[in-house]
Each structure stands twice: as C-alpha cells, then as structure tokens.
Amino acid sequence: MEPGNNTGFPEFLLLGFSEDPELQPLIFRLFLSMYLVTVLGNLLIILAAISDSHLHTPMYFFLSNLSYVDICFTSTTLPKMLLNIQTQSKAITYAGCITQMYFFLVFLELNNFLLTVMAYDRYVAICQPLHYTALMTPQLCGLLVLVCWILSVLHALLHSLMVLRLSFCTFSVNSTRWFNLPVLIPSLMTW
C-alpha cells in the first residue's frame, strides 16, 4: 500500500457530552457563557495594556499577546461545538477537522512559547535589573513574538501534514473511558 491518505468518508462524527435533549440547552448555555467570559476577559486585558501608558512595558506587551492567543485558542473549537449543540449536528468534514486541528496546535504551541518568553523576560528583570531596559528593547520583544509565531506555525504544519498521511477507515465507539462518555475513535490502518 502506498503512503498517503486513503480516507473513504468525507466527515467525522463528533459525539458530545450527552445525548439527552433536555441537557442540550444547559450545556449550550454553560459553554457559551464560558466562551464569552474568556473572550471579554482577554479583551479587557488587551485594552487595559493599550490604553494605559504605564503598561507599555515588555511584560504587558507579552501579556497582551498571550491574551490575544487565548482568544484565538478558544475560538478554534468552541464556536463549532456550540453550533453542533444548537443544530444537533455531529458531523465535521475531514478538511474542517484537519483545519481545526492545525489552528488548535498553532495557538496551543504559541501559548507555550509566549509563556517561555515571559519567563525569560522576568528572568532578565530579576537577574539584570539595571540592564533590563537596555536588554529588553521593543525590537527584541517584537522579534521574540515573531519567532514564537514562526515556530508555532511550522510545528503545527508539520503535525498536520503528518496526520494527512494517516488512513482512517472504520470507526469504533468507546463508551468505557472518560466517565462513560461515548468517544469516537477512528481506527488507523497505516502511517
């Protein structure tokens, strides 16, 4: 068999938290409220850092970027989940799944890289306090964020391309794990 994707079906089925129609509105409201709180909270952090000139420091620059990434990270999965709950649809196309996985990985890795850069910023602030402003220039901060973006995009692209090589042929439903929630697991034929 030649390597490559031999997927014979156009979509995946997503099994959710509950099949009970009475719980669907509660689950929808719960996740919608969590999503709105996350987006609004992070927007407030970004607006506070932009509007106050005292907060124009490397730490708040990185924190604003982290807040933006957090908005993007939650926006990769929750809107589709809310749509699926509202429409009672459980399908996601193969291309949609790969795209969602790519952006999920980009923002997940970017989150980790930005936390690492923030740790470096605090290290310089604590260990080199007199040289901090000379070391952590706006150009260096911008370069660090740019490198984080490049590494995240390339790493997520690598993983997404590796998943494209997998062959999904059959489904099996596993309802014994994760608190007896039905979980859809595609069987993998070849790498």
- Segment 157-163 shows an average pLDDT of 92
DSSP one-letter code for 14: P
pLDDT score at 164: 85
pLDDT > 50? residue 173:
no
pLDDT at 97 over 90: no
The confidence score (pLDDT) of residue 10 equals 66
pLDDT at 166: 79
Mean pLDDT along residues 25-30 = 88
Vertex 111: Cα angle to 93 and 125 (nearest 5): 170
Predicted confidence (pLDDT) per residue in 34-82, tens digit: 999 999 999 999 999 999 999 899 999 999 999 999 999 999 989 988 8
d(CA 155, CA 171): 28
Q: Judge whether 64 and 46 are in contact, CB under 8 Å.
A: yes
How many other CB atoms are found less than 10 A from the CB of residue 14? 15
**How far is it, in rounded angstroms, from Cα 184 to Cα 173?**
5
- Summarised one tens digit per residue, pLDDT across range 180-189 is 434 444 443 3
Q: What is the pLDDT of residue 190?
A: 39
In the numeric block, which tokens belong to residue 25? 């509105």
- What three-state secondary structure class fits 159? helix
Give me the numbers of helices (H) and strands (E) for the chain, helices first please: 5, 4
Which residues are paired to 186 by β-bridges? 171
State pTM to two decimals. 0.77
Determine the average pLDDT of the residues in 114-120.
96
CA distance 113 to 129: 23
User: For residue 179, how many other CB atoms are within 10 A of its CB?
Assistant: 5
